[in-house]
Amino acid sequence: MLGGPSAEREVSLRSGAQVGEALRSLGHEVRELDPRDDSWVLPAGTDVVFLALHGTYGEDGTVQQRLEELGVLYTGCDAEASRIGFNKALTKERCMAAGVPTARFTVIDKPNASWPMGWNPPVVLKPLRQGSSVGLQFVERVEEWSKSLAEAMRHDSQVLVEEKITGRECTVGILDGQVLPILEVRPKAGIYDYKTKYTPGMTEYFCPAPFDAATTKRIGDAALGAFAAIGGRDYSRVDVMLRANGEPVVLEVNTLPGMTETSSLPKVAGAAGIGYVELCRRMVDLAMKRKV
């Protein structure tokens, strides 16, 4: 399944096209299904659904719930873990309960809300239920608050306000319970947003990330802890910031990571010696193991 109705449709189409090509090279019969709304019907005889969807509907537990009701196997996290992982506040609450380090946050649900009491700039605004940095806003001064909030609110009725972490940014791939080599992300200009994430050449990537062994383990443990906290299964990508003192801070858990030519999960799998086609094969195998 690829495409879908979300703000990340174009990226999902690219992910799905590459996945389809990889699965066909393995000898699978592959049909592409673009669920623009709820009227979709699976092809007869479907063994497993490879979810190459991103964003609303595809990544928030909605399509997973429907597939469970149909009794069809699918790749990635189940409906409940997907619902939690897609909601940044729920993810952070689960992390805090499990003792996984995450940034201080609050939630705003009024477009005309004033600057939150007890907070100092800079802060980051994120639509509560969006992925791929859609609607991401950095607020460096109180005077920028109203405009930034309005922009973030265009993408969701609730917005996460989070302390801005200054430090190194990395992403951690998890596959079948194992942490893959950590990837450090360094945008060449500005911030790691939707544009820099999906435009080739706009970001430098270092994998394995140049951290010492102790730091690498702390980052990996935090990522695994967050993945377990939301009830994840099979695979995921966890975004982590590293404070100047070496403390990892989990930003979010991505339950259906991108599978495009610039996506992080295929990069880190490749660094572990797992090529793109093999990665897709393992994802399908993990789903097929659930066959009863």
Residues forming the active site: 8, 132, 198, 237, 239, 252, 254, 258
What are the residues whose beta carbons fall under 8 Å from the beta carbon of 133, sequence distance 6 or more? 192, 193, 194, 197
Which helix (H) or strand (E) segment holds residue 126: the answer is strand 123-127
Phi, psi of 11, rounded to the nearest 5 degrees: -65, -40
**Residue 82, beta-bridge partner list:** none
Q: SS in 3 state form for 226-244? A: HHHHCCCCCEEEEEEEEEC
Distance CA 50, CA 286 (A): 11
Closest to 105 in 3D by CA, of 194, 189, 165, 195: 165
Calculate the CA 55 to chain-centre distance.
9
Peptide bond preceding 127 in cis form (omega within 30 of 0): no
Closest to 184 in 3D by CA, of 164, 212, 154, 209: 209
Phi, psi of 65, rounded to the nearest 5 degrees: -60, -45
Cα 93–Cα 60–Cα 47 angle in degrees, nearest 5: 130
For the chain, give the longest Cα–Cα distance.
58
Which helix (H) or strand (E) segment holds residue 253: the answer is strand 248-254
Look up tokens 């719930």; give the residue: 65
Distance CA 60, CA 30 (A): 24
